[in-house]
Structure 1
Amino acid sequence: MGMRASINYFFEWVTVLAWINFLWVVFTLLGFLVFGWAPATVAMLKVFSEIYREKNIQQPIFKTFYAQYKVSFLKANAIGIMLVLVILSMAYGLLTLPYLNDLAFYLLFGFYLIMFSLVTFIILFIFPVLTQYKLSFLNSIKYSMLVGLSNLHYSVGIVISMGIIYALFRAFPGLLLFFAVSIPSAILMKLALKVFDRVGMQTEMAK
């Protein structure tokens, strides 16, 4: 790829990232925030999945986004609401720890640490899983957790990537307006697809 082609490709990606970010905001607002962010996130990840799978940035972005938003609306909201409730419950539990005696503190702290790790795996992979597999509500959660546990290095890589992006946004806050959700999601989906391909290869080899 020549210099001019590389520059054109870069600006194509910039345009696509900004457009997808805009769609996420619009469809999140259409769902009154509470019922919009989860299906909008799944729709956004589906668009990135199509781009990566087809190895072609020229995709019907709005059509793919809208179709996935409608298809995943109920399931994505059910999972999103569940995750929010779990996180709030854990946060409340952590706030009560300082008021416990030493034994209870360490026991519950260990419990919350384990739960936090498992929930993190689910958060990382649950929405990418919804874009790739037709699983039931419970199986989607279980599969996300198992994928995260069995591919720990990828899970750590995603967390580190999110930390780097956070630092980037802190250094250049103006980027948030156009790429706040699209850049993290693009990287998340790229790594998640590598994990899914790896799991698929392992499954084939085990047959």
Structure 2
Amino acid sequence: MGRMFQEASEWIVRLAWSNFLWIAFTAVGAGVFGIMPATVALFTVTRKWKLKEFDFSIRKLFINTYKKEFVRSNVTGMIFAIIGVLLYLDLKIAEGMQGTISVVLYVFIGFIILLFVNTVIHFFPLYVHYHYSVKEYIKQSFIISLISPTSTFLIAIGLFFIGYLLVNMPGLIPFLLGVLPAYWIMNVSINRFHSLEKQYKPN
């Protein structure tokens, strides 16, 4: 019981400290320019946990990653933001149209938006696990989101329950808002990456 209590306490500290760093460094970047590098840093930390690496300074790894990836992650973030705005405008245009074509277009754009959101979700674990160019990160994130319906379903289910937990226990938001979804997404994604690596590994 003492060992279980110690491990539980260590996990509580890890989660809360990482979430605090994520919130703080998002704010340091004035939100808009802080969210991408802070989230990349958060996923870098959760990747370590998934790989069973715990003997490291969370603060040092987080800050170093934040600084290192500040520019490149923000460039990618701006690309995603532009795509997101264009899709939103297309959706508003479809809403303003009349007739059957409006419904068809609205459903089609809605489907594209879901693919876009799925691509963004898969981007972060891919970004911290592999080394690609910005263009290749976006391309590979899109491909993985298409060929991994099971992983997408698991991520969605996990995020639903995490959201349900936080909505019903808002006091946990300062401690788990970013880190719990990040850890869940990273956990599912790493398993998928390993599966794909085995599947496409040359004989």
TM-score range normalised by the length of the shorter chain: over 0.9
- Write the letter of the residue equivalent to 1:137: V
User: Which residue matches 1:95?
Assistant: 92
Matched, 1:16 2:14: yes
Question: Match for 1:158 among 155, 159, 172?
Answer: 155
What 5-or-longer segments of structure 2 have no aligned partner? none
Provide the alpha-carbon RMSD of the alignment: 1.6
Aligned-pair distance for 1:185? Answer: 0.9
Figure out how many residues of one structure are paired with residues of the other and give that number: 203
Identity of aligned residues (%): 27
- Kept after mapping to 1: 8 A contact 2:122/2:189: yes
Describe how 1:75-154 pairs up with structure 2 within 5 A: 75-154=72-151
Relative to the length of structure 2, the TM-score reads 0.93
Matched, 1:175 2:172: yes
What 5-or-longer segments of structure 1 have no aligned partner? none
User: Which residue matches 1:39?
Assistant: 37
Tell me how far apart the structure 1 counterparts of residues 94 and 142 of structure 2 sit (CA, whole Å). 26
Aligned-pair distance for 1:169? Answer: 0.6
- Write the letter of the residue equivalent to 2:38: A
Question: Which digits, 9 at most, give the CA deviation of each residue in 1:159-194, with x for residues without a partner?
Answer: 111111111011100000221111111111111111
Aligned-pair distance for 1:82? Answer: 2.2
Relative to the length of structure 1, the TM-score reads 0.91
Tell me how far apart the structure 2 counterparts of residues 17 and 78 of structure 1 sit (CA, whole Å). 28
- Kept after mapping to 2: 8 A contact 1:13/1:57: no
Question: Which digits, 9 at most, give the CA deviation of each residue in 1:72-118, with x for residues without a partner?
Answer: 11121112222223223322332332321224313422431331132
- Kept after mapping to 2: 8 A contact 1:42/1:68: yes
- Kept after mapping to 1: 8 A contact 2:95/2:106: no
Q: Secondary structure at the match of 1:56?
A: coil
